[in-house]
Structure 1
Amino acid sequence: MTTPITIEELLKFILFLLGIGVLGYLVVFLKNANNLVSQVRRLAEKNEKEVDRVLKQLPHISENINCILEESKVLLEKTSPELTEVVTNINSISEKIDTTSDVISDTIEAVGESITGTATTFKNNLKNITDYIELVMEIIDIIKNAFKNR
């Protein structure tokens, strides 16, 4: 018995198999969803007292938050001008420190150059004194030799 299969029958068979696969997946999905709902229910029952306590405290917590926000707003409004003045003072101090550091740097550079110049001059003067002493010593030797030869 050989019966030819048409393309339409083949496509219907494939769709039938896909439908069975989707139904199987749907059954597994519903089973997992049911387990998840059961766990959530157990968790809610277990923590019912805590949830009730938190829900009862929510209005008080909300009032506290509103009070804190209002106080913060008032505090910011009061301190805003002072903060602006502090920032201005900090900028002024920063500029003065920059100027002072420039002056100090220039002064240190000038003092360093002066010390270097003084040291160089002192060195040259010592060399000149040494040269003069050697010349005087040579003159004394020449005079001494001249008296010895006579």
Structure 2
Amino acid sequence: MLTINFNLLGNIILTIVGIVALIFLIMTLSNINKLIKSFQGILEKNEDNLDDVIDKLPSVVDQANTLVNNINTIVQDPNLRMAIAKANDTMTNVSSISDDIRDTVNYVGVTAVDSIDTVNAGISSVSDYSSLIMDVIDIVKNVISGR
């Protein structure tokens, strides 16, 4: 008869799982070690550049602070604010003038069309009157010649 010792079986399974976990741990540590060596190589390769950047960083920060202070001074200048307000007023006036010009051009166009229609009507009237006068002259001629 075969007896199964569950305690021994559990220990074997735990040992196998432990060995697999230990292998994965070793592989992970190996990859991390390679990554650190690669990063260290990059740092050594660019050491001079990094030193230059670190040396220039305080100067750049000071220049940036000076720039920000200058911009704040310019933005808070009341003359600039007044100039911007005047520019806005000017743009509003230009827009208003543009609207007035558009309205004037439309009015002139309508007036020109009305004037042309009036002149055309006058010419038609003159033509009608001249035709009527010609008819009257023809009638008078006929009456005089028929006598």
Query: Same fold by TM (over 0.5)?
Result: yes
2:61 maps to what in 1? 65
Pairing of 1:7-26 with structure 2 (within 5 A): 15-26=14-25
Q: Structure 1 residues 101 and 77, CA, compared in 2 at 3 Å: closer, same or farther? A: same
Query: How far is 1:53 from its partner?
Result: 4.4
Asked if 1:99 is matched to 2:96, the reply is yes
Match of 2:133 in 1: 136
Report the identity percentage: 27
Q: 1:47 deviation in Å?
A: 3.3
CA RMSD in angstroms, aligned pairs only: 2.9
* Structure 1 range deviating more: 131-140 or 77-86: 77-86
Aligned residues: 146
Q: Which runs of 5+ in 2 are unaligned?
A: none
- Structure with bigger RCO (C-alpha 8 Å, 6+ apart): 2
Calculate the TM-score normalised by the size of structure 2. 0.76
After TM superposition, the structure 1 = structure 2 runs for residues 70-85 of structure 1, keeping only pairs within 5 Å, are 70=66, 72-74=68-70, 76-78=72-74, 80=76, 81-85=78-82
Return closer, same or farther for 1:54/1:76 CA change in 2, 3 Å cut-off: closer
The CA distance in 1 between the partners of 2:84 and 2:114, in whole Å, is 45
Q: How does 1:92-131 map to 2 (within 5 A)?
A: 92-131=89-128
Give the deviation of 1:137 after TM superposition: 1.6
Query: Residues 135 and 18 of structure 1: is their aligned pair in 2 closer, same or farther, counting only changes over 3 Å?
Result: farther
Which residue of the partner structure matches residue 31 of structure 2?
Answer: 32
Question: Cα deviations across residues 11-40 of structure 1 (Å, max 9, x unaligned)?
Answer: 666555443332222121111111112222
Q: What is the TM-score when the length of structure 1 is the normalising length?
A: 0.74
Determine the C-alpha separation between the residues in 2 that align with 1:32 and 1:23: 14
Q: 1:53-87 CA deviation, whole Å, 9 max, x = no partner? A: 444x24xx413531452354145315532321121
Counterpart code for 1:66: D
Q: CA deviation at 1:130?
A: 0.8
Unaligned ranges ≥5, structure 1? none
Residues 20 and 82 (structure 1 numbering): CA distance in 2 closer, same or farther, change over 3 Å? farther
